[in-house]
């Protein structure tokens, strides 16, 4: 209001000057308006384009990360629990009859199974069923020999190229350390094996030769469902349902990844007891040694002033 | 009193004292280990290899596990 | 780019303006319901014949809970919607096709969390 009254006074005094300033102001404000509308338009268009682009973007979807596997009640859960060795034994059977057709177990030697899931003679027999390269004979011809306890479990394919060629380009990973190598460990392996749905979710298009599995990051996995009810026949009469076999083979693979597991937990228990009692002892010794120092009392008796 | 007798028997001669420490450590670690193992195996009863071995029968009875 | 914007605006319009497709949706849903029941019957038949997988059994149980039913309904709704889109001409050329992975994940995650804690009691 105040500025306006000043303006009106100016108007009455100098008409000519006033006219010119008004026309200048209108030109300026028109310019400003144009600029603002332009900026607003550009902003709206840019955000519209960005939004349209975001509708087609497929990054950071749930499918990309895979479905998180639930936690199961494994026999080895807890700080002082061992593997279930009967389950390891069945799991080896599942590996041998099902998984071993495609997956290697390069880092596991026959001898490690002895005293874990099989007896010495059983493992010897199992090893002898396979042929290994032997030293060449006197004429330099390569020879073969039956497997020994010290040999490693043979792989289904001689090399990676052969494995890929037999599986349409997909490489079945070595299973020796697979439980340690995957997020979720045994839970993930179990979920993956049991998690093949009958049909992929509506609208999902899979590449040729791949299968849908929600737990596998990305959803499309080259391995098809392999475990079906009663696929193997367990020697101990356990009903071989899909989940039973998946549990056993996960347990076996967990043992492959952590063969030291049972002993580690036993030693850990010992270490915790010894170390914590030594710690408490050290606390007591410290208190004992410091007791006389902390309870010491210094007194100062000033000499009597001479007179 | 009792401490005095313990002192006389074990601590007075250094050779005996060191021997006591060594023997004590040896006895403790075997006892401790077997006690822990017993508890641990009792806790995991039914899951261990020895239980499985008993179940699968005399198939490999004469085998040495290790 | 422009076409996607136009598509998007149309989508928004579809959400606000009721169209004939609504009626079709409902019809599809009831169809799905029947199919579901059929599936269940088949499974029960199998049950009598041979051993049944414990995990599947538990999951079916979980599917019958209130939350399971609701999630299944969501998934079925999505499946019907995608099915409808598939039948429309020019579906193959669409730049952005809807899928039901998220609905499927929600359902599956619930079934997992419901069935997993009880499963290992039933296994050896």
Q: Which of these ranges, A32-36, A133-137, A279-283, C95-99, has the smallest mean pLDDT?
A: C95-99
Sequence-ordered list of residues with C-beta below 8 angstroms from that of A121, at least 6 positions apart, any chain:
B59, B60, B63
Average pLDDT estimate for A184-208: 94
pLDDT in tens, B23-58: 999 999 999 999 999 999 999 999 999 999 999 875
Test A203 with C82 for CB contact under 8 angstroms.
yes
Closest residue to C55, CB basis, from A63, A68, A194: A194
Cβ-contact A176, A256 below 8 angstroms: yes
Give A259 to chain B, closest Cα distance, Å.
13
- Where residue C67 falls among pLDDT bands split at 50, 70, 90? very high
Q: How far apart are CA A112 and CA A152, in angstroms?
A: 9
Quote the pLDDT of residue A246. Answer: 97
Touch test B–A: 3 Cβ pairs or more under 8 Å: yes
Sequence-ordered list of residues with C-beta below 8 angstroms from that of B37, at least 6 positions apart, any chain:
A266
Q: Which of these ranges, A24-28, A186-190, A219-223, B38-42, has the smallest mean pLDDT?
A: A24-28
Quote the pLDDT of residue A4. Answer: 52
Q: How far apart are CA C102 and CA C99, in angstroms?
A: 8
**Residue A272 belongs to what H/E stretch?**
helix A261-294
Give A44 to chain C, closest Cα distance, Å.
13
Test B49 with A115 for CB contact under 8 angstroms.
yes
Q: Which residues of chain B does A121 touch, with a Cβ-Cβ cutoff of 8 Å?
A: 59-60, 63
Q: Name the residue in chain A with its Cα closest to that of B58.
A: A119
Q: Tell me the C-alpha to C-alpha distance, in Å, between residue A205 and each of A56, A59, A84, A115, A155.
A: 16, 16, 40, 48, 33
Average pLDDT estimate for C3-30: 57
pLDDT in tens, C77-124: 999 999 999 999 888 888 778 889 999 999 999 999 999 999 999 998
Quote the pLDDT of residue A224. Answer: 95
Q: How far apart are CA A301 and CA B16, in angstroms?
A: 50
pLDDT of C38 > 80? The answer is: no
Q: Which residues of chain B does A247 touch, with a Cβ-Cβ cutoff of 8 Å?
A: none
Test B40 with A80 for CB contact under 8 angstroms.
yes
Quote the pLDDT of residue C21. Answer: 45
- The torsion angles phi and psi of C66, rounded to 5 degrees, stand at -60, -50
pLDDT of A185 > 90? The answer is: yes
Quote the pLDDT of residue C15. Answer: 65
Q: Reduced to 3 states, what is the DSSP secondary structure of residue A132?
A: strand
End-to-end CA distance of chain A: give it in Å, rounded.
92
Quote the pLDDT of residue C34. Answer: 41
**Residue A195 belongs to what H/E stretch?**
none
Q: How far apart are CA A220 and CA A123, in angstroms?
A: 37
More confident residue, A1 or C68: C68
Give the rounded percent of residues in chain A with a pLDDT score beyond 90: 83
Average pLDDT estimate for A105-109: 96
Q: Which residues of chain A does B32 touch, with a Cβ-Cβ cutoff of 8 Å?
A: 270, 273-274
Query: Hey, of B32, B41, B42, B44, which one would you mutate to test binding to chain A, going by the most A CBs within 10 A of its CB?
Result: B44
Sequence-ordered list of residues with C-beta below 8 angstroms from that of B31, at least 6 positions apart, any chain:
none
Residues at the binding site of A for heme c are 99, 102-103, 223
Cβ-contact A196, A214 below 8 angstroms: no
Q: Reduced to 3 states, what is the DSSP secondary structure of residue B14?
A: helix
**Which chains form contacts with chain B, at 3 or more CB pairs under 8 Å?**
A
Sign of the four-CA dihedral C43, C47, C53, C56 = positive
Give C39 to chain A, closest Cα distance, Å.
11
Sign of the four-CA dihedral A111, A115, A121, A127 = negative
Q: Name the residue in chain B with its Cα closest to that of A268.
A: B36
Q: Please count the other Cβ atoms lying within 10 Å of the Cβ belonging to residue A49.
A: 14
Closest residue to A121, CB basis, from B37, B48, B63: B63
Q: How far apart are CA A223 and CA A215, in angstroms?
A: 13
Sequence-ordered list of residues with C-beta below 8 angstroms from that of C117, at least 6 positions apart, any chain:
A70, A71, A72, A73
């Amino acid at each position: 209001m105040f500025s306006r009254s000043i303006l009106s006074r100016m108007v009455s005094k100098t008409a000519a000057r006033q006219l010119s300033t008004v026309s200048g102001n209108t030109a300026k404000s028109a310019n400003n308006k144009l600029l603002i509308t332009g900026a607003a338009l550009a902003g709206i268009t840019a955000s519209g384009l960005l939004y349209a682009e975001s509708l087609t973007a497929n990054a950071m979807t749930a499918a990309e990360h895979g479905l998180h596997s639930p936690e199961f009640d494994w026999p080895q859960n807890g700080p002082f629990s061992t593997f279930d060795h009967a389950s390891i034994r069945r799991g080896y059977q599942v590996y041998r009859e099902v998984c071993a057709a495609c997956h290697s177990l390069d880092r596991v030697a026959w001898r490690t199974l002895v005293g874990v899931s099989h007896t010495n003679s059983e493992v010897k027999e199992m090893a002898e069923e396979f042929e290994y390269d032997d030293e060449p004979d006197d004429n330099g011809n390569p020879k073969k020999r039956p497997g020994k306890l010290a040999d490693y479990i043979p792989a289904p394919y001689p090399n990676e190229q052969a494995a890929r060629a037999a599986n349409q380009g997909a490489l079945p990973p070595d299973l020796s350390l697979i439980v340690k190598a995957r997020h979720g460990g045994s839970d993930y392996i179990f979920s993956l094996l049991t998690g093949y749905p009958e049909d992929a979710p509506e609208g999902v298009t899979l590449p040729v030769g791949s299968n849908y599995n929600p737990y596998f990051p990305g959803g499309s996995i080259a391995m098809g469902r392999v475990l079906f009810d009663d696929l193997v026949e367990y020697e101990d009469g356990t009903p071989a349902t899909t989940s039973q076999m998946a549990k056993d083979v996960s347990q076996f693979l967990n043992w492959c990844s952590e063969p030291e597991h049972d002993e580690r937990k036993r030693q850990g228990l010992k270490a915790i007891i010894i170390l914590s009692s030594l710690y408490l002892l050290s606390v007591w010794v410290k208190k004992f040694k410091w007791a006389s120092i902390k309870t010491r009392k210094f007194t100062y008796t000033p000499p009597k002033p001479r007179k | 009193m009792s401490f005095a007798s313990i002192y006389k028997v074990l601590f007075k001669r250094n050779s005996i004292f060191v021997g006591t420490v060594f023997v004590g450590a040896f006895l403790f670690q075997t006892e401790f280990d077997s006690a822990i193992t017993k508890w641990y195996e009792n806790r995991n009863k039914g899951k261990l290899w020895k239980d499985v071995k008993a179940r699968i029968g005399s198939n490999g009875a004469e085998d040495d596990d290790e | 780019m422009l076409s996607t914007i136009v598509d998007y605006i149309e989508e928004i319009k579809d959400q606000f303006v009721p169209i004939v497709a609504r009626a079709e949706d409902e019809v599809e849903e009831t169809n799905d319901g029947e199919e579901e029941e059929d599936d269940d019957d088949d499974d029960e038949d199998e049950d009598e014949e041979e051993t049944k997988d414990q995990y599947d059994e538990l999951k079916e149980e979980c599917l019958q809970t209130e939350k399971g039913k609701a999630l299944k309904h969501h998934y079925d709704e999505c499946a019907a919607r995608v099915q409808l889109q598939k039948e429309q001409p020019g579906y193959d050329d669409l730049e952005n096709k809807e899928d039901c992975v998220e609905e499927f994940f929600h359902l599956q995650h619930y079934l997992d969390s419901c069935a997993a804690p009880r499963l290992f009691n039933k296994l050896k």
